[in-house]
Amino acid sequence: MSAVGDQTISVGPTVELSLRVSVSTLSRVVFSHPRDWIPMLALEHKATLVSVGTDPNVDVKAQPFGGAIQILNIESLLSLVGSFNFDSERSRSERDFRIYMNPSNWGKVRDFCLKNMAEGGGRELELDPTRELVEEFDDTLGIQLKPEQYIVDPYNIVVENEPAPTSNVRASGAPTARIYRVYEVRILDRDLCRAMISNSEAHPGQVLRAEALDDAHKGGLGRANAVLVAAEEEIRAAFLNVPPERRGEVLPFAGTLLEGNVPAVLEGVKVTKYRHIRQ
């Protein structure tokens, strides 16, 4: 257990702390194609070995760049809900806002997060998306992202009030309510745009799958990361081709799968379970 003041915070769900809450930043990474100026959207493209055997199962999906928001003031959250557990040892060690709590406190926690987001964070929640963005560009591209290469602006906030099972390997299947703080990240550097396009072209889904298997054979965790770049209108059209109530589900696209949170970074794609808050 981890002590915070007079409280102790454990890990995992209990009978009372049964609702998982995930509060994250998502980055809408966009740029104009260097050749024809078509608006492009970049997603993180990930392959993860899920099971081994004669026919290994590798999960290959693309999702927006981003990650869990860090809780800066744990005491403030404890005073609001009384008690909560982190969903994993990793979340506890990094103070990630991935927690289990009493479902009756969801409204309080949601309003607490929205208030912090309206104020810009910094005291109770770390809302700046750049730390995660820099780490993920290093993981996927091997590039050290520099401040002069991009512009970050707040885009919107998306709330999922209705819990849905998570695919996160550390809490697989747990009913999860979600809040996304979405930022638009506009890439300005033309060479970086070209590098992203080249990386995407060199790493279709089947290549990422093979790289994850190779990583496992070499004693690694069975993972591979790259970037998926496509015309934003093509991705938007793929989601608009399914009913609004299904747009939060995994969707096949260009030989891979798009994660259900991709519509959160798209303009003009209504998702039944989303509540959008413009800021």
133-157 pLDDT per residue, tens: 999 999 999 999 999 999 999 999 9
Is residue 214's pLDDT more than 70?
yes
198, 42 Cβ separation under 8 angstroms: no
What are the tens digits of pLDDT across the range 101-117? 999 999 999 999 999 99
Residue 166's pLDDT is 80
23/77 Cα distance (integer angstroms): 13
Which amino acid makes up residue 133?
A: L
61/4 Cα distance (integer angstroms): 37
206/58 Cα distance (integer angstroms): 10
Counting the structural domains of the chain, the total is 1
7 confidence band (pLDDT: 50, 70, 90): very low
What are the tens digits of pLDDT across the range 12-58? 999 999 999 999 999 999 999 999 999 999 999 999 998 776 678 99
Q: Taking Cα atoms as reference points, which of 270, 101, 265 lies closest to residue 180? A: 265
Kindly compute the dihedral angle of the four CA atoms of residues 217, 219, 223, 226, in this order, to the nearest 10 degrees. Answer: -80
23, 116 Cβ separation under 8 angstroms: no
Domain assignment of residue 157, given as a range: 2-278
Is residue 81's pLDDT more than 80?
yes
As given in the structure block, the two tokens for residue 26 are: 């998502």
76-80 contact pairs (CB < 8 A, 24+): 76/124, 77/109, 77/112, 77/124, 78/4, 78/5, 78/7, 78/9, 80/105, 80/108, 80/109, 80/112
One DSSP character per residue, 56-80 reads -EEEEEEE-EEEEPEES-HHHHHHH
Question: Please, what is the average pLDDT of the chain?
Answer: 92
Residue 5's pLDDT is 41
49, 210 Cβ separation under 8 angstroms: no
Q: Average pLDDT of 88-93?
A: 93
Q: Average pLDDT of 153-178?
A: 85
Q: Can you give the pTM of this predicted structure?
A: 0.91
Q: Average pLDDT of 206-215?
A: 95
As given in the structure block, the two tokens for residue 188 are: 């300005």
271 confidence band (pLDDT: 50, 70, 90): very high
Q: Are strands 175-187 and 150-165 parallel, antiparallel or unpaired?
A: antiparallel
Residue 169's pLDDT is 67
One DSSP character per residue, 116-153 reads HHHTT-SSSEE---HHHHHHHHHHHH-----GGGEEEE
